[in-house]
Structures are given as C-alpha cells and as structure tokens.
C-alpha cells in the first residue's frame, strides 16, 4: 500500500473511528461469549464473581490453595443471574453501535470523499469519542449503570489494587482482554493527539515527539504491568511456597523489553538513514549492525520462547 492508498484509507476510516470500532468489536465478542456460556448452562455471574444475590460483589474470593489454584465453591446454575449479566450488554451494544454509526455517517457526509476536509471534520469524531466517554461515566441510572459500575470497579481494582488484596477472577479476565487490546491502547493515545488542538487526522501531518512519543509504549505495556502485579499479588496473598505465580509474572515481565525496544526502532531507522541513506533504511527490514535492533531481536526470541513454554506446560497442561 503506497502513501496515497494509505491516506485514502485513513480518510475512509480515520484512526479514532478504527479504535472505537475495535472497542465495539470487543464488546460484541464479550457479550456473545457470555451468551454462549449461558446456553451451555454455565453460571457466568458466579464464575466471574459478579453475582449480587448469593455472592455479594464486596465478598472477596477465596485465597488460592497451596497448589496455586483458587478454591471455589460450586453454585447451582441460576438462569436469571447469568441471563441478567449479558442481556444489558446487548442494549449497550445497540446504543454504542447506533451512536458510532450515526457519527460515522455524519463524518462521511461532511468529508464527501475530499481528504482535504478531514481535519475540518475532526469535531464529528471528537463528538463521537466524547459521547462514549460520557456514556461510560454517566452517574445516572441509565445505559446499564450496574454493568458500567462493575466494569469501572474492576478497572480500578486492576490499576490500584495492592498486594495484600485478593485478585478477582473477573479482574484477571479483564486484564487478559486488555493485553489483546494493547495495540489499541497505544492507538488511543495517537487518536487523542489527532483530536487535540493543533492535531491532524493525517498521519503525515502528525508530529508526536518528546515524552508523548514514550506514552504510546507505556500505554501498550499497561495491561502487562497489571497482569504482572496480579501474579505477584496472588503469590503474596496466598502465602504459599508455590512459585507458579512468580513464573507467570516473569512471562509478562518479558514483554516490557520487546515493547520499549520496538518503540526505539525509529532511532534505528534514523541512524541507518544517516549512514546508508533513506532508500536502504526504508527498503531493508534487517538492521543487524545496530545494537538496538540486536537487543530487540534477542528480547523477542526470549519472550516468545518463554511464553510458548509457559502456555504449553502450564495453561495447556502438556509436556515439551
């Protein structure tokens, strides 16, 4: 894809709209997963520890057993509790998609295929993003407030939880979901930069430098920081001699060098451009002569192999 095609693609679906669309897609996947598990007879409210009838939300989960697994009490499947978990999410999906689609249609009507009008239509995208933020933090009892509160409380526990507090299973699931959306978190910062005064929807006109440039890898690494902290909290809270949680924490810690060294590849390109010219730097993907590139490649190999070993031997229960 050349520069003109990339610009045309950005005009058709700008990065902020792509981020909002991916958030909507994630919500679709989560809601349908909950619905499917309900059809299989699984009480997701009990599994995720969000039930308010038999298990209050304020009740902490049982601490992990010496073997490293959290002891759980079996609860009979209650259709109403599980049904009430995903039904409001379908309503949120409807409102979210209707709002996003309306703003997207308004944006296309204002741009009319003219890429020069993209920046003039930023106010429409800003309105779309502001509507999502207002809907999420709305204090009134509308738009599935209970579900929004559960989500916000889980996010707060993930970010501000301490090592002497229990780790809820729903928080682990939420952090794992955010690791899959790590790149989206980085794009969220770029999208905000585009919509701020002086920004531009065209990446070629966007100038991200200084500390703002490091905010992108910091946001990308945030879900891994949360999972790293959760693993340490599980180890300290269980007061167990089992080190499984510590080895799991190491898996997430191995991602940090990959993320930040990937962000430093711009410096690699700049150095190669200065020494060999722009044509060589842009057309060649291997820059083994640069120490940052070599460190990045080494960190990728270590993180990939360790994560593969951990997933196969611990999550899947297989032997290598």
Span 101-113, pLDDT tens digits: 999 999 989 887 6
Of 184, 214, 240, the one marking the end of a domain is: 184
Strand, helix or coil at 215? helix
Q: Which residues contact 240 (CB under 8 A, 6 or more apart)?
A: 64, 65, 66, 68
Residues 290 and 143 in one domain: no
Whether residue 224 is contained in a domain is answered as: no
Q: Find, among 116, 125, 109, the residue nearest to 196 by Cα.
A: 125
Model pLDDT, residue 224 = 97
- Domain residue limits at 268: 257-320
Q: Find, among 172, 156, 164, the residue nearest to 248 by Cα.
A: 172
Whether residue 296 is contained in a domain is answered as: yes
Residues 165 and 279 in one domain: no
Report how many helices (DSSP H) and strands (DSSP E) the chain contains, helices first.
14, 0
Asked if 188 and 105 touch (Cβ cutoff 8 Å), the reply is no
Mean pLDDT of 180-205: 85
Whether pLDDT at 86 is above 60: yes
Whether residue 207 is contained in a domain is answered as: no
Mean pLDDT of 193-214: 76
Residues 164 and 73 in one domain: yes
Question: What crossing angle do the helices spanning 211-238 and 169-180 adopt, rounded to 10°?
Answer: 150
Mean pLDDT of 209-236: 90
Model pLDDT, residue 81 = 57
Model pLDDT, residue 4 = 59
**Residue 212's pLDDT band (boundaries 50, 70, 90)?**
confident
Of 152, 184, 216, the one marking the end of a domain is: 184
Tokens 């909290």 sit at which residue? Answer: 233
Tokens 């520069």 sit at which residue? Answer: 3
**Spatial separation of the C-alpha atoms in residues 49 and 58, rounded to whole Å:** 10
Of the two residues 163 and 205, the one the predictor is more confident about is 163
Residues 14 and 138 in one domain: yes
**Residue 93's pLDDT band (boundaries 50, 70, 90)?**
very high
Q: What does the CA dihedral 10, 16, 22, 23 come to, rounded to 10 degrees?
A: -170
Tokens 């209650």 sit at which residue? Answer: 78
**Spatial separation of the C-alpha atoms in residues 133 and 129, rounded to whole Å:** 6
Whether residue 118 is contained in a domain is answered as: yes
Tokens 């509507």 sit at which residue? Answer: 131
Strand partners, 64: 70
Whether pLDDT at 204 is above 80: no
Specify the length of the chain in residues.
320
Asked if 103 and 20 touch (Cβ cutoff 8 Å), the reply is no
Of 184, 205, 230, the one marking the end of a domain is: 184
**Spatial separation of the C-alpha atoms in residues 15 and 248, rounded to whole Å:** 34
Whether pLDDT at 64 is above 70: no
The secondary structure element, H or E, covering residue 201 is none
Strand, helix or coil at 64? strand
Whether residue 103 is contained in a domain is answered as: yes
Residues 41 and 179 in one domain: yes
Predicted model pTM: 0.84
> 142 phi and psi, to 5 degrees?
-140, 170
Whether pLDDT at 23 is above 60: yes
Model pLDDT, residue 251 = 94
Of the two residues 6 and 287, the one the predictor is more confident about is 287
Average pLDDT of the chain is 83
Residues 118 and 265 in one domain: no
């Amino acid at each position: 894809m050349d520069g003109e095609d990339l610009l045309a693609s950005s005009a058709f679906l700008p990065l902020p709209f792509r981020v909002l669309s991916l958030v909507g897609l994630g919500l679709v996947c989560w809601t349908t997963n909950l619905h499917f598990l309900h059809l299989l007879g699984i009480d997701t409210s009990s599994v995720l520890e969000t039930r308010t009838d038999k298990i209050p939300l304020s009740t902490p989960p049982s601490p992990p057993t010496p073997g490293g697994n959290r002891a759980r009490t079996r609860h009979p499947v209650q259709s109403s509790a599980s049904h009430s978990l995903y039904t409001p999410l379908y309503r949120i999906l409807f409102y979210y998609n209707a709002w996003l689609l309306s703003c997207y249609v308004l944006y296309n009507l204002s741009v009319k295929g003219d890429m020069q009008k993209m920046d003039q239509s930023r106010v429409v995208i800003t309105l779309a993003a502001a509507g999502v933020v207002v809907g999420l933090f709305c204090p009134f009892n509308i738009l599935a407030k209970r579900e929004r509160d559960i989500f916000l409380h889980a996010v707060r526990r993930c970010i501000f939880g301490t090592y002497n507090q229990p780790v809820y299973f729903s928080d682990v699931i939420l952090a794992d979901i955010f690791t899959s959306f790590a790149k989206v978190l980085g794009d969220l910062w770029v999208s905000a930069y585009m919509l701020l005064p002086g920004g531009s929807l065209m990446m070629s006109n966007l100038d991200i430098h200084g500390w703002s440039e490091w905010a992108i890898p910091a946001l990308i690494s945030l879900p891994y920081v949360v999972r790293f902290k959760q693993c340490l909290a599980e180890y300290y809270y269980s007061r167990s001699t089992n080190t499984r949680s510590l080895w799991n924490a190491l898996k997430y810690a191995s991602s940090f060098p990959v993320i930040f060294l990937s962000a430093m590849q711009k410096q690699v390109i700049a150095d190669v451009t200065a020494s060999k010219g722009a044509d060589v730097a842009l057309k060649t993907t291997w820059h083994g002569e640069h120490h940052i590139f070599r460190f990045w490649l080494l960190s990728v190999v270590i993180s990939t192999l360790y994560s593969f070993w951990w997933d196969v031997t611990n999550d899947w229960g297989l032997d290598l």
